[in-house]
Amino acid sequence: MKKQLYVLVALLVAATMILTSCGAPKPAATAAPVATAAPAATGPVLIRWSIGIGTGADPAQVTIENEVAADFNKSQDKIHLIIEVIPNASARDTISTEIAAGAGPDIVGPVGWVGSNAFAGQWLDIAPYLAATKYDTTKFEAALVKSYQTEAGTVGLPFAVYPSAIYYNTGLFTEAGLEPLPAKYGDQYKMPDGTMVDWNWDNLTKVAKLLTIDSAGKHSGEAGFDATKVVQYGFSFQWEGHAEYWGAFMSNGGQFLVPGGSKGSYAAKAPANWVKAWQWVYDGMWGAEPYIPTGAVEGGADFDSGNSFASGKIGMADMPSWYLCCVGDLTKAGGKFDFGAMPISLDGKVAGRTDADTFRIWKGSKHPAEAFTVLAYLIDTGIIKLVVGSPERAPAYGAVPSQSALRGPWLASQKANFPFVKNWDVLVAGLNYGDVPSAEAFQPNMNESWARTGTFTTLLQNTKGLDLAAEVATLESDLTTIYNK
Amino acid sequence: MENLTHLPKLPSFGSIKKMTPIARREYRNGMIFLLPWFIGFLGFVLLPMLATLFFTFIDLKITTGMLTTPKWVGLANYVTLFKDNQVWNARPNSSPGALWITFRFGIIALPVGIFLPLGIALLMNSKWLKGNNFFRSAFYMPYIIPFVASIFLWGGMLNPASGWINKALEGMGVPHNSLPQWANDINWIYPTYVIMGIWGIGNAMLTMLAGIQGVPTDLYDASKVDGAGNWGTFWNVTFPMISPVIFYNLILSVVGLFQYFLVPLVLNQGTGAPGGASMFYNLYLYKTFFVYQNMSYGSTLAWALFIVILITTVILFSTSRFWVYYASENP
């Protein structure tokens, strides 16, 4: 009986091993960019474009994306492009499952660095296709092209970029008797007492406190100010509510991953300026003289359930250009805003932060050449409806086009939508001040690493009296564990 | 185990040969009827279980694992588990570990999940209560609503901004700044989950009510004769007599506690927010499998959960002889 049991267990284990070794087919080699011949009987090659891991799943955006797919299908007859829209919250799970089943989408995007890095190693090196089609990359800034050249090859082309700036509520500034923010990087700021000061985080804090008002009309730091009855705050990172963004915004980029490791020896270490940035944010939320709303306050109805700048009760918000999508509540209520330069970072240099979205081709695509044809179409032609837009019709994504030649029409479109904004130049100038390394730079086991820092973020946003140094040490330890899992 | 000796044994191969043709045919037919279950058990229970056990010894990612051959890593996943702060961290005022969250929630949820249905069942059994049938139906009705739908309902009611509960509290004079943020607040999240859980106590209430109604009335008569009051009657008669039902509900609640998943997944989007307070063990396990794509570590977490539930259940069963009264064992 024992012998039979051993045989049974051995058979089951063998079956298990066979099952685990089966699965998706090996990815297509990227060396030979030969178009897949579509069998005449089956018609054009089907290319699946997966949308949702980044922006793009909003119904208004889907309408435009459908138009772009239809335009592409009309433009030729060898490839049929279909879009697959997945809600953002479930996009990673869905794509993981599809890839695991060997049925990943041919093209994914628009997707930023975090979303892409969650699937590190899964993206096709398009360099052979660029060479084979003699694709002209000189239309992009060299730095943007370079940003997509990784250890895995060229994994994308510049498409949409999102420079950051300080969005400030001009009405609240006027009410508080404050001067407009610097409209050029490196310019000084005129404080209420007339002194000219460097536009850095210390001075931003002073301005933010003047804009933080309690129900009796007193500002943060003023005698008699009641920190429990704040009705208006001076500053928020709002939807850039992630500790890695906070660190990058305030200290010119940075990363947790200590360079030079490999699996088993990876290590995480928070840059010193990131820790200072987190302390600044934490003091802003929980200190005696606050200037940033806590997580619970910002999520409340008074602050537009998280879209706090649009509530009209936030003086300044540090956000990328994609936030133009969502300031409607502010402008509908008669509010106005403008852009100011990002403050000088904690390391003393003029700094900014730039997000970037593009399209990726899955390494396992059975039709990589056709997928590249679609990708090139989206980058060169689809971009008009997706990013540039027109004065009559806003684009799908609130981004700045990566091709400088398209920025004129893009600007015309934006000016038509927001005629009161004066400082568009400072927003575009933000492209010169990207965070290096990006806040969204690769980390091993990216999904879990990013989620762990997200937990740290919400802990800071929702817990008074934290021992921040101990929490940072725990975070570093956890990230080190996660990197080596 | 000696109680099981009376159960029929499977015949050996040798004894099958010695069977009469009719007995052999009956045996064969019996096996054919059992075969679908065996196939299902092997294919959908035993093999996946063994597969996950095997996964714990290799390095398998849901995506990269399919493109590369997984490596044998021995006990590395178990070593990681024992060092994983996201499972064990119990330091106050910090992001709690998933197992600690589960225990902490259990300390509040288990007593409520056991004693509240018991109390309501006692009320339902009271001779003074009018409209028993209505109340029984009313308490049971929420149980038949699909669980996810009820979470969405509660999510709406407890929405700090638009939920009617906060609007009612504000109407009663609670200052706006003091309104609870419910599932968005690290201090309110577990009470919020417990409040939501109360909605589903109908089943436990019904089983306890059935237990109470099954207590022989002559025992109550005897206790009255002995001069017992209401508490004495409850403690010395009702409680021992329904203790098997309480024990049954306790086991189900403990297993349910370790598998607590849907509420934090739906209400807090499975992010663990606020501050990791909703990252229950089972949610962490699920995320490790399907979001972090780490099949091997997910399997290790699953086996650890299996062992923890097994040990807890064994401990509960071993304590049962001190407080659970089985009439059949005590003639």
Q: For A388-409, write each residue's pLDDT tens digit.
A: 988 888 889 878 998 888 988 8
B274·A474 Cβ contact <8 A? no
For residue B121, give the nearest of B215, B32, B45, B189 by alpha carbon.
Answer: B215
B50·A451 Cβ contact <8 A? no
Structure tokens at A10: 């051995």
For residue A242, give the nearest of A458, A474, A481, A472 by alpha carbon.
Answer: A458
Q: Which residue has the tokens 């009405």?
A: A171
CA gap A363, B67 in Å, rounded: 10
In A, which residues are within 8 Å of B70 by CB distance? 20
Structure tokens at A172: 């609240």
Structure tokens at A65: 């994306």
Which of B54, B55, B269 comes nearest A89 by C-beta?
Answer: B269
Residue B89: closest C-alpha in chain A: A474
In B, which residues are within 8 Å of A460 by CB distance? 275
Residue A21's pLDDT band (cuts 50, 70, 90) = very low
**Total beta-carbon pairs less than 8 A apart between chain A and chain B:** 154
Residue B265: closest C-alpha in chain A: A89
Residue A117: closest C-alpha in chain B: B292
Residue A118's pLDDT band (cuts 50, 70, 90) = confident
In A, which residues are within 8 Å of B46 by CB distance? 12
Give the per-residue pLDDT at A413. 85
In A, which residues are within 8 Å of B274 by CB distance? 295-296, 458-459, 461-463
Distance of residue A194 Cα from the nearest chain B Cα, in angstroms: 36
Q: Determine which of A1, A4, A16 to mutate to test the interface with B (most B C-beta atoms within 10 Å).
A: A16
| B189-198 vs B98-124: helix crossing angle, rounded to 10 | 40
Q: Determine which of B49, B52, B59, B67 to mutate to test the interface with A (most A C-beta atoms within 10 Å).
A: B67
Q: Determine which of B291, B293, B299 to mutate to test the interface with A (most A C-beta atoms within 10 Å).
A: B293
A451·B292 Cβ contact <8 A? yes
Q: Walk me through the domains of chain A, giving residue ranges and CATH numbers.
A: 40-161+355-417 (3.40.190.10), 164-353+435-483 (3.40.190.10)
What are the pLDDT tens digits along chain B (331 aa)? 445 556 667 777 778 778 888 988 998 999 999 999 999 999 999 999 999 999 999 998 877 655 567 889 999 999 999 999 899 988 877 788 999 999 999 999 999 999 999 999 999 998 888 888 898 889 888 888 888 899 989 988 988 877 899 889 989 998 877 888 899 888 899 999 999 999 888 999 999 999 999 999 999 999 999 998 989 999 999 999 999 999 999 999 999 999 999 999 999 888 898 989 999 999 999 999 888 889 999 999 999 999 999 999 999 999 998 999 887 655 4
Which of B46, B95, B184 comes nearest A12 by C-beta?
Answer: B46
Give the per-residue pLDDT at A410. 87
DSSP bridge partners of A380: none
pLDDT tens digits, one per residue of A297-325: 888 778 888 899 999 999 999 999 988 88
Return all residues near A134 (Cβ < 8 A) that are at least 6 apart: none
Distance of residue A273 Cα from the nearest chain B Cα, in angstroms: 22
Structure tokens at B209: 């009510």
A21·B69 Cβ contact <8 A? yes
A299·B161 Cβ contact <8 A? yes
* Greater model confidence, A443 or B65: A443
Is the model's pLDDT at A485 over the cut of 70?
Answer: yes
A455·B275 Cβ contact <8 A? yes
Instruction: Indicate the pairing of strand A230-236 with strand A314-320.
Output: parallel
Is the model's pLDDT at A6 over the cut of 80?
Answer: no
CA atoms within 13 A on the CB side of A189: 24
CA gap A480, A459 in Å, rounded: 19
| Average model confidence (pLDDT) across chain A | 88
Distance of residue A14 Cα from the nearest chain B Cα, in angstroms: 10
Could you tell me how many residues make up chain A? 485
Which of A102, A121, A458 comes nearest B273 by C-beta?
Answer: A458
Q: What is the pTM of this model?
A: 0.82
In A, which residues are within 8 Å of B42 by CB distance? 12
For residue B163, give the nearest of B175, B153, B173 by alpha carbon.
Answer: B153
For residue B261, give the nearest of B317, B203, B193 by alpha carbon.
Answer: B193
A20·B54 Cβ contact <8 A? yes
Q: Which residue has the tokens 């400072």?
A: A426
For residue B246, give the nearest of B101, B91, B98, B115 by alpha carbon.
Answer: B115
Other CB atoms within a 10 A radius of the CB of residue B16 amount to 13
Instruction: Indicate the pairing of strand A79-85 with strand A45-51.
Output: parallel
Which of B55, B70, B161 comes nearest A300 by C-beta?
Answer: B161
CA gap A93, B247 in Å, rounded: 39
Return all residues near A285 (Cβ < 8 A) that are at least 6 apart: A292, A293, A294, A460, A461
- Taking the C-alpha atoms of B108, B114, B119 and B123 in order, what is their torsion angle to the nearest 10 degrees? 140
**DSSP H or E run through A198:** strand A196-198
B294 burial level (CB within 10 Å; 0-12, 13-18, 19+)? buried
Distance of residue B291 Cα from the nearest chain A Cα, in angstroms: 6
In A, which residues are within 8 Å of B67 by CB distance? 24, 26-27, 121-122, 363-364
B94·A302 Cβ contact <8 A? no
N-terminal to C-terminal alpha carbon distance within chain A: 40
A100·B66 Cβ contact <8 A? yes
Cβ-contact A310, A329 below 8 angstroms: yes
Which of B50, B60, B297 comes nearest A12 by C-beta?
Answer: B50
In A, which residues are within 8 Å of B181 by CB distance? 296, 299-300
pLDDT tens digits, one per residue of A180-225: 999 999 899 999 999 999 999 999 999 999 999 999 999 999 999 9
C-alpha distances in Å from residue B224, one per residue of B220, B227, B237, B308: 6, 5, 11, 44
In A, which residues are within 8 Å of B192 by CB distance? none
In A, which residues are within 8 Å of B64 by CB distance? 121-122
Other CB atoms within a 10 A radius of the CB of residue A341 amount to 25
In B, which residues are within 8 Å of A21 by CB distance? 69
Degrees to nearest 5, angle at CA A397 with A186 and A96: 110
CA gap A469, B149 in Å, rounded: 42
